[in-house]
Amino acid sequence: MNIHESEKIAGILEYMGYLACENEEDADIIVFNTCCIRDNAEKRALGNIGAVKHLKKLKPELITAVAGCMTQQDGAGLNLRNKYPYVDIVLGTNNLFELENCIQKLKNSKKKSVLIDPNERPEVLENEKVYRTSGCNAWLNIMYGCNNFCTYCIVPYVRGRERSRKMANIIDEFKSLVDQGYKEITLLGQNVNSYGHDLDDGSNFAKLLEEVAKIDGKHRIRFMTSHPKDLNLDVIDIISQSPNICNNIHLPIQSGSNKILKLMNRHYTREYYLDTIDAIKAKIPDCGITTDLMVGFPYEEEEDFEDTLDIVRKVKYSSAFTFIYSVRKGTKAAQMPQIAPEVSKNRITRLIAEQNKITKELSRGYEGKVFEVLCEDVAPKKEGFVCGRTDSGRMVTFQGDKSLIGEFVNVKINKSQSASLFGELTEEK
C-alpha cells in the first residue's frame, strides 16, 4: 500500500517535470512517505526526516515534504512544523493530491503548507497520476481506509473509514495495466473482502474478482489483505476456478489464542480460522498461505503464545510476518496493561524459529518439481542470475539474463535453503 502511495507521489512529481535521481544530494525535492503502524516505523521516518537538515543547509532551495499516515496522528502536523522547521510541506493521507499546488505556492511566494484534513473525506479520487516502480508488477487500489478497529491498530484513525472504488473504474484501470504490459496486478485494500460494502450497487469482492479474472491476457492476479472474518467460500471458489488468480492467500491471524483474538477485536476464533484454512486447502490444494503474527499483546500469557505456535504448526504457512506488539497512542490496547519487553522478545525469537522450521520443510517439498515462474528482476548480488515467483508466491533464483524479466518461464527447483529456492530453466512442464 505504501509503495503504491509513493508511486502516486512520484506520479505527481513526474507530471510536474521532475525526474527521479539516485542520490538525495542531487535532489531538488524530497518527499517522505511515512508509516506509523509500529513505533519503529515512525522512529525511522523521523530519523530520515532529521537527516535532511544538513542537505537543506548545503542547498537552501531544496524542497522537503512529509506525507503518509504519520502526519495524520493527533497533533503530528504541528509537531513536525515545530521540531523540523526545515520541512516545507506536510500533507495528510487525504491531501496528497494537493502536493502540486503546495510546491507551486512555495516556489511562487515561499509559503509553507500544512494540509491535514480530518479523515471524513467521502469521495475516492480517480485518474491519479502514477509513476510505477515495481517492474512488471503493478499495484491497484480497490478501496481505502478500514472500519475494523482492531484494538492495537492505528490504521482506522489515520486512514479513515472504508471507501471502495467503483467496480467499472477498477476494471478500466486493470485493463489499461494489462494493455501496458504489466504481468502481475495486485489488488490492494486493508480488508479486500469487505470491498463494496459501502457502495449501494451490489458490488462485492467475489464479483470484482470474477470480473477481473475474465479479462484476457497472460497475467497474474494477486490481492491483499484478506481479513479472516470476511473471507468467504465464494472468493475461495473463484480463486480455485480462475487460472490467472494466483493460488496464494495472505490471511493474517495475529494470534492463535481466542482470549487474545477477542481482546484484539478480530471477530473470529481460532476454530473459525482453521475451518477457513481447511476450506482453502480442500479447494486449492497447492495454495501458498501466508500470515501476520503478533506477540506480546496485553494479557498474553505463555499458554496464549503456545496457542499461536500451535496454529503455526497446524496451518504450515509458507511464510509469516512476525511482529512484537507496539503501543499506538489513541488505540484501545494502549490503555491495557503492557507485557514486559523481554517476554515479547523471547516469544518472537521462538515464533520465528518455529516458522523457519516449517518454511524449510515446505521448501524441501519444492525440490525436483517444475513451476511456472514470472521472472521479475535480476537476482540481488548474484551476477548472471534472475529471480521471480511461483504462482503460490515463493521466490525462486535461477540462471538467466535481464531479457527474461517480464516473461513466464518454467523452472525446475534443484535446491532449497530455508526460505530460498534455486532452480534452472527447463522445457519440462
By rule CB under 6 A, what count of residues binds ligand SAH? 17
Q: Which of 340, 323, 338, 397 has the alpha carbon at shortest distance from 363?
A: 397
Determine the 3-state secondary structure of 114 from DSSP: strand
What x/- string results for residues 62 through 91 when contact with ligand SAH is judged by CB under 6 A? ------------------------------
Of 9, 235, 236, 16, nearest to 128 by C-alpha is: 9
Contacts of 222 (CB under 8 A, 6+ apart): 184, 185, 186, 187, 245, 246, 248, 393
- For residues 122 and 389, give the distance between their C-alpha atoms in angstroms, rounded to a whole number: 37
What is the closest distance, in whole angstroms, from the C-beta atom of residue 94 to ligand SAH in the complex?
18
Min dist CB 302 to ligand SF4, Å, is: 24
If binding is defined by CB under 6 A, does position 292 make contact with ligand SAH?
A: yes
Complex with ligand SF4: residue 174 or 273, whichever CB lies closer:
273
Give the x-and-dash track for 200-229 against ligand SF4 (CB under 6 A). ---------------------------x--
**Choices 20-28, 62-70, 146-154, 281-289; region in contact with ligand SF4 by CB under 6 A:** 146-154
Instruction: Considering only the C-alpha atoms of the chain, give the largest distance between any 2 of them, rounded to a whole number of Å.
Output: 65
Residue 222 interacts with ligand SAH (CB under 6 A): yes or no: no
Stretch that binds ligand SAH, among 56-64, 165-173, 321-329, 417-425 (CB under 6 A): 321-329
Told to check if 321 binds ligand SF4 by CB under 6 A, we report no
Contact 147, 162 (CB under 8 A): yes
**Cα–Cα distance measured from residue 261 to residue 245, given in angstroms and rounded to the nearest whole number:** 30
3-state secondary structure of 350: helix
15 touches ligand SF4 (CB under 6 A): no
* Shortest reach from residue 152's CB to ligand SAH, in Å: 4
- List Cα–Cα distances, 366 to 82, 351, 358, in angstroms: 54, 23, 13
**Region near ligand SF4 per CB under 6 A, out of 48-56, 110-118, 150-158, 378-386:** 150-158
Q: H or E element: which one contains 387?
A: strand 385-390
Q: Indicate which single residue of 94, 137, 190, 291 sits in contact with ligand SF4 (rule: CB under 6 A).
A: 190
Cβ proximity of 183 and 220 under 8 Å? yes
Strands (E), 279-384: 288-295, 319-324, 370-378
Nearer to ligand SAH, 226 or 416 (CB): 226
Contacting positions for ligand SF4 (CB under 6 A): 146, 148-150, 153, 155-156, 190-191, 227
